Amino acid sequence: MDDISTTAPADSATSPAPVAPTAPTAAPAAAADSIVAVDNLVKRYGDVVALDHFNLTIAPGEIFGLLGPNGSGKTTAINCILQLLTFDKGAIRLFGAPMTPTRYDLKRKIGVVPQNVALFDELTVRENIDFFCALYVDDRRERARLVGEAIEFVGLGDYTGFRPRKLSGGLLRRLNIACGIAHKPQLAFFDEPTVAVDPQSRAAILEGIRAMNERGCTVVYTSHYMEEVEEICSRIMIMDRGRAVAVGTNGELKAMVGAGERIMVEVAGLSPAVRERLAALPHVRRVTYSEPELAVQCEQGARNVADVLAVLAAEGCAPGRVYAEPPTLNDVFLEITGKELRD
């Protein structure tokens, strides 16, 4: 595949340097009114700075997406917020009150759905949900009602007597969610809840999260599936190297990095000279060609498609199918964090 960038020589396959985004946008609510407020958080592991003066504000009722490459500090930040990790500096407030390891009154309002399925193999579906719900709710009658509602909520009514080893991957994920939210939390953390599940289970999980949110639960959602975050999150933060490097709505993030459109053209035998002419057009950031598919990544511009087709016509190229794709959150993520692989 040939890649021509306006920031590199025509024979270079080097991608443009990551965009340096502007400062994160302000949250829609002041810290005093927020359900989550993290101020200047620092967490070190020896000489490694996992969180570098990290700040986060989440308003009640949001579905807040937390994104970042591997090792960016997402899990560390969540564990500090939940007081599962100590930290070196900073302050955390949840529901307007200081969060400490012994604030069990605050912890009872929180639900956690971890990435790794955390269940007891010797317990049935119903018994697993009841066990985790009992960590928050002492009254047995009330707990039985909540467990029944959680089973119905995740669609496990036909499996209540099954043990986890008898369930498919999608059913296990749904059981994992039921265990984390049966007590009806006001704030829920979902860490990669749709990993390795089929499309039907993924759709059911996302619909369930939206339903929780509509009932008043604020959600913090982490995922490497950008289309999920783009679909359900009202606001998104991109982390890198322990810092919040960009915060905003989906549209605000795209505007922040000048993400435009990707023009796709089917055309055979495109010479390097033509690709260089395309790369020299105004607003063109990158030209990639893998015969017969030409991809032209552009900034915002009213004549992008017309300009690309004009170059092809002038060179006697006969394009086939032509279409333009709007920028995706994945495009924004790669512009901000770069394309190098992370461990």
pLDDT in tens, 271-329: 999 999 999 998 898 899 999 999 998 887 789 999 999 999 999 999 999 999 888 88
DSSP 164: G
CA–CA distance from 169 to each of 128, 194, 201 (Å)? 16, 10, 9
- The pLDDT value recorded for residue 254 is 83
Give CA–CA dist 132/52, Å, rounded.
Answer: 33
**Number of C-beta neighbours around residue 213 at 10 A:** 18
pLDDT score recorded for residue 3:
57
What is the per-residue pLDDT for 238?
95
What domains are defined for the chain?
61-83+106-255 (3.40.50.300), 259-337 (3.30.70.1340)
| Residue 32 identity (one-letter amino acid) | A
Q: What is the pLDDT of residue 10?
A: 37
Question: Helices H, strands E: what count in the chain?
Answer: 11, 15
Distance from C-alpha of 228 to C-alpha of 192, rounded to nearest angstrom: 10
Residues of the chain with pLDDT under 50: 5-28
For 247, counting Cβ atoms within 10 Å of its Cβ (0-12 exposed, 13-18 middle, 19+ buried), the class is buried
Q: Residue 88's pLDDT is what? A: 97
Quote the tokens at residue 114.
Answer: 């971890």
Q: Are 4 and 10 in contact, with CB atoms under 8 Å apart?
A: yes
| pLDDT on residue 11 | 38
The pair phi, psi for residue 296, each rounded to 5°, is -120, 110
Segment 140-166, tens digit of pLDDT: 999 999 999 999 999 999 999 999 999
Q: In this predicted structure, what is the pLDDT of residue 229? A: 95
**pLDDT in the model for residue 261:** 84
CA 187-162-154 angle, to 5 degrees, is: 30
Q: H-type helices in 160-238, by residue range? A: 169-181, 199-214, 226-232
Helix (H) or strand (E) segment spanning residue 187: strand 187-191
- Residue 1 has what pLDDT? 57
pLDDT of residue 338: 81
Alpha helices in 197-297 (DSSP H): 199-214, 226-232, 250-256, 272-279
pLDDT of residue 342: 62
Q: What is the pLDDT of residue 18?
A: 41
